Structure 1
């Protein structure tokens, strides 16, 4: 047992170990799908891969007779634009609040209770309020993502600022640095890679808020399409859409990680 805690698998072994649970899950689905379809060929709960492939081809490569759009790509673009706007605005606000509240006790005393209050409010509970205030358009969906992600990222950055060794700040002041210089040249560079990590951790919540908002009030988007297809029990469309959202979330997480590693390699060398 002592050796287990010190064992570090090689990259290929790590890849295979991560792939095996996914393979097992896929095999379980295939067996369950075959069992249900053998009893009822028209079963919609667990469609076969052929049915899902045909549905994906229809959604992605055949224009909609009603709108003339390729629905999968139109839905993806609409959802990604909403997600990107909400996460970007939330990250910028969180960076400002986290930097000032973490580094300046006056700002922390003034704004920290308000940030904590917003962090404790369930974002989905204010969704009807957002629809009333901003309407059913894009603004309410983006604002929901901002409200849901900003407090979480802000609190993370505030804690990160407070873990910076006090000696660095003292040395900067000894060398004649004033508050603005210390914020800009000492604290902010150490905060940026943590911002990307916090955004990566908040992506799952951002997707949740996006799908919920699209399910209630939207005319396009991945969440809208999933809940629309639910009415027809079209699992051959719903399951590929869920898998597509998962793939998009993984790609965004990987992109943020690569950008962070490229811009701040020293942070990952610790």
Structure 2
């Protein structure tokens, strides 16, 4: 008799088990929505899928009477632009500082303590300061994402840099490699897949900072729309937008994973 810990489901079984929780959530929602709407047809808390579809259709396929824009796609474009710009800048800064503080002791001594302190500052507490310094335009929203994400990436890359065996560094120097060549030939190739993993892990925080900034000061974006319609209890807008944000986050995460697997196959060998 096999122990539970040794049972490995087949590929098709894993797919079924993965879909099962989502199917249960949808089923529970349908039952609860039908029960509430049966008691009160105007109930807004749990709209039916039909109601959400009708409302979403007006956002996706019909231009706004006030602006002439397709609100759903305008919000999506604005949010993705801010998020991706913020994540890219955060990745560049985080990777650079993580690499230098992990590989160069003279850089580690003065910068590493500062990096640790900055990573402990709640980014949301800095939001009013960012609005005062940068104004209410795009820069403050992107800056919040960078400030919130970059220190986490930097500390993760720093830790990964320190984990690289010193034997590799000594061998490279024995062969005549300069400090720059060691960084370029030894450290960076091994840290690139770790950078993608760090970005994947911090994407959730990036979305959180983006939506918070859009909710406070913006005229478009997914976060802006959610907080705009909440005053009307428009769950038929909020729930589809939340589902769309989740889907976008999943797609970005999946693309990053596939990119890492394609470009750094050696890093994923033996992974399940």
**TM-score when scaled to structure 2?**
0.98
| Aligned positions, number | 270
Structure 2 matches for 1:20-169, cutoff 5 A? 20-169=20-169
Cα distance in 1 for residues equivalent to 2:2 and 2:130 = 54
- SS of aligned partner of 2:232: coil
- SS of aligned partner of 2:3: helix
How far does the alpha carbon of each residue in 1:203-238 deviate from its partner, in whole angstroms, 9 at most, with x for none?
A: 000000000000000000000000001011110010
How far does the alpha carbon of each residue in 1:171-225 deviate from its partner, in whole angstroms, 9 at most, with x for none?
A: 1111111111010000100000000000000000000000000000000000000
Shift of 1:4: 2.1
Cα 1:99/1:2, change in 2 over 3 Å: farther
Shift of 1:2: 6.8
Q: Does 1:263 align with 2:257?
A: no
Stretches of structure 2 lacking an aligned partner (at least 5 in a row): none
Cα distance in 2 for residues equivalent to 1:241 and 1:94 = 30
Shift of 1:6: 2.4
How far does the alpha carbon of each residue in 1:78-110 deviate from its partner, in whole angstroms, 9 at most, with x for none?
A: 000000110000000011101111111111111
Cα distance in 2 for residues equivalent to 1:11 and 1:129 = 50
Cα distance in 1 for residues equivalent to 2:110 and 2:21 = 48
Stretches of structure 1 lacking an aligned partner (at least 5 in a row): none
Cα distance in 2 for residues equivalent to 1:49 and 1:25 = 13
Cα distance in 2 for residues equivalent to 1:231 and 1:49 = 21
Cα distance in 1 for residues equivalent to 2:191 and 2:258 = 17
Cα distance in 1 for residues equivalent to 2:178 and 2:11 = 46
Please provide the CA RMSD for this pair: 1.0
